[in-house]
Amino acid sequence: MQIHAGNTAQNLKFQGTTGTDVGLSLYNASNAWTCQLYGTSSGYYGFLNSNWGNWDMKKAPNGQLQLRIGSTDQTVYHTGNMGDNDVTFSGGAGAVTISANSDIRLTNGTWTGDHAGKIQHHSNILYIQGGS
Protein backbone atom coordinates (compact mmCIF):
# COMPACT_ATOMS: atom_id res chain seq x y z
CA MET A 1 0.00 0.00 0.00
CA GLN A 2 1.33 3.42 -0.94
CA ILE A 3 0.19 6.76 0.45
CA HIS A 4 0.33 9.81 -1.84
CA ALA A 5 -0.94 13.36 -1.94
CA GLY A 6 -4.42 13.37 -3.49
CA ASN A 7 -5.67 15.28 -6.51
CA THR A 8 -6.55 18.21 -4.20
CA ALA A 9 -5.02 19.51 -0.99
CA GLN A 10 -7.94 18.01 0.97
CA ASN A 11 -7.35 14.41 -0.22
CA LEU A 12 -5.01 11.65 0.81
CA LYS A 13 -4.56 8.90 -1.80
CA PHE A 14 -4.12 5.25 -0.80
CA GLN A 15 -2.92 3.15 -3.73
CA GLY A 16 -2.72 -0.63 -3.68
CA THR A 17 0.44 -2.25 -5.02
CA THR A 18 -1.21 -5.49 -6.27
CA GLY A 19 -4.67 -6.54 -7.44
CA THR A 20 -7.60 -4.41 -8.56
CA ASP A 21 -9.52 -4.02 -5.27
CA VAL A 22 -8.44 -1.92 -2.32
CA GLY A 23 -9.39 -1.85 1.35
CA LEU A 24 -8.62 0.19 4.41
CA SER A 25 -9.05 -1.76 7.66
CA LEU A 26 -9.33 0.02 11.00
CA TYR A 27 -8.28 -1.51 14.33
CA ASN A 28 -8.77 -0.20 17.87
CA ALA A 29 -6.07 0.28 20.52
CA SER A 30 -6.37 -3.42 21.48
CA ASN A 31 -5.62 -4.37 17.85
CA ALA A 32 -9.18 -5.67 17.39
CA TRP A 33 -10.65 -5.17 13.92
CA THR A 34 -13.48 -2.58 13.85
CA CYS A 35 -14.35 -1.89 10.17
CA GLN A 36 -13.11 -1.96 6.59
CA LEU A 37 -13.73 0.55 3.82
CA TYR A 38 -13.54 -1.35 0.53
CA GLY A 39 -13.57 -0.49 -3.17
CA THR A 40 -13.60 -2.67 -6.29
CA SER A 41 -12.43 -2.14 -9.84
CA SER A 42 -16.00 -2.96 -10.94
CA GLY A 43 -17.15 0.32 -9.39
CA TYR A 44 -18.57 -0.69 -6.00
CA TYR A 45 -17.52 0.82 -2.69
CA GLY A 46 -18.68 0.46 0.90
CA PHE A 47 -17.98 -1.47 4.07
CA LEU A 48 -17.27 -5.15 4.67
CA ASN A 49 -18.63 -7.15 7.62
CA SER A 50 -15.19 -8.50 8.59
CA ASN A 51 -11.58 -8.03 7.49
CA TRP A 52 -11.77 -8.91 3.75
CA GLY A 53 -15.18 -10.49 4.41
CA ASN A 54 -18.57 -10.04 2.71
CA TRP A 55 -20.30 -6.78 1.89
CA ASP A 56 -22.13 -5.09 4.77
CA MET A 57 -22.94 -1.82 2.95
CA LYS A 58 -22.49 -1.73 -0.85
CA LYS A 59 -22.95 1.20 -3.24
CA ALA A 60 -22.13 2.08 -6.85
CA PRO A 61 -21.79 5.74 -7.88
CA ASN A 62 -25.30 6.97 -8.76
CA GLY A 63 -26.63 3.47 -7.93
CA GLN A 64 -28.77 1.96 -5.21
CA LEU A 65 -27.51 1.37 -1.67
CA GLN A 66 -27.58 -2.25 -0.50
CA LEU A 67 -27.35 -3.45 3.08
CA ARG A 68 -26.63 -7.03 4.09
CA ILE A 69 -29.18 -8.12 6.69
CA GLY A 70 -28.31 -11.57 8.01
CA SER A 71 -26.93 -13.19 4.87
CA THR A 72 -29.24 -11.45 2.37
CA ASP A 73 -28.57 -8.24 0.44
CA GLN A 74 -31.44 -5.75 0.73
CA THR A 75 -31.89 -2.57 -1.35
CA VAL A 76 -32.62 0.50 0.75
CA TYR A 77 -36.00 2.01 -0.19
CA HIS A 78 -36.22 5.77 -0.65
CA THR A 79 -38.36 8.26 -2.55
CA GLY A 80 -36.29 7.79 -5.70
CA ASN A 81 -36.73 4.03 -6.05
CA MET A 82 -40.21 3.42 -4.63
CA GLY A 83 -42.09 5.00 -7.54
CA ASP A 84 -45.53 3.45 -7.99
CA ASN A 85 -44.52 0.13 -6.44
CA ASP A 86 -46.79 -1.57 -3.91
CA VAL A 87 -45.46 -2.28 -0.43
CA THR A 88 -46.41 -5.31 1.64
CA PHE A 89 -45.99 -5.39 5.41
CA SER A 90 -45.92 -8.85 6.95
CA GLY A 91 -44.74 -8.33 10.51
CA GLY A 92 -47.89 -9.66 12.17
CA ALA A 93 -49.75 -7.61 14.79
CA GLY A 94 -48.39 -4.06 14.71
CA ALA A 95 -46.69 -4.51 11.31
CA VAL A 96 -47.66 -0.89 10.64
CA THR A 97 -47.82 1.56 13.53
CA ILE A 98 -48.68 5.24 13.19
CA SER A 99 -46.94 7.28 15.86
CA ALA A 100 -48.68 9.83 18.07
CA ASN A 101 -49.44 13.16 16.37
CA SER A 102 -49.24 11.45 12.94
CA ASP A 103 -51.89 10.33 10.46
CA ILE A 104 -52.52 8.53 7.17
CA ARG A 105 -53.71 10.65 4.26
CA LEU A 106 -55.54 9.28 1.25
CA THR A 107 -55.81 10.99 -2.14
CA ASN A 108 -59.18 11.05 -3.89
CA GLY A 109 -59.19 8.70 -6.89
CA THR A 110 -61.27 6.44 -9.10
CA TRP A 111 -62.88 3.27 -7.79
CA THR A 112 -60.57 0.24 -8.08
CA GLY A 113 -63.21 -2.42 -7.44
CA ASP A 114 -64.67 -4.31 -4.53
CA HIS A 115 -62.41 -6.27 -2.19
CA ALA A 116 -63.00 -7.61 1.31
CA GLY A 117 -60.77 -5.67 3.71
CA LYS A 118 -60.25 -2.45 1.74
CA ILE A 119 -60.02 1.29 2.50
CA GLN A 120 -60.26 3.78 -0.38
CA HIS A 121 -61.03 7.48 -0.88
CA HIS A 122 -63.28 7.76 -3.98
CA SER A 123 -65.53 10.65 -5.12
CA ASN A 124 -64.71 12.52 -1.88
CA ILE A 125 -66.13 9.63 0.21
CA LEU A 126 -64.06 7.32 2.41
CA TYR A 127 -65.05 3.69 1.80
CA ILE A 128 -64.23 0.91 4.24
CA GLN A 129 -65.11 -2.59 2.99
CA GLY A 130 -65.16 -5.56 5.32
CA GLY A 131 -66.16 -9.15 4.89
CA SER A 132 -64.41 -12.27 3.81
Q: Is the pLDDT of residue 84 over 80?
A: no
In the sheet where 65-69 sits, what is the strand order?
22-27, 33-39, 45-48, 55-59, 65-69, 72-75
What angle is formed at CA 119 by the lines to CA 123 and CA 103, rounded to 5 degrees? 95
pLDDT recorded at residue 124: 94
Say which residue, 65 or 16, is predicted with more confidence: 65
pLDDT recorded at residue 57: 97
Residue 18 pLDDT grade (very low, low, confident, very high; cuts 50, 70, 90): confident
Residues 43, 46, 52, 54, Cα dihedral to 10°: -90
Q: In this structure, which amino acid lies at residue 69?
A: I
Please write down the long-range contacts of 36-39, taking CB distance under 8 Å and 24 or more positions apart.
none
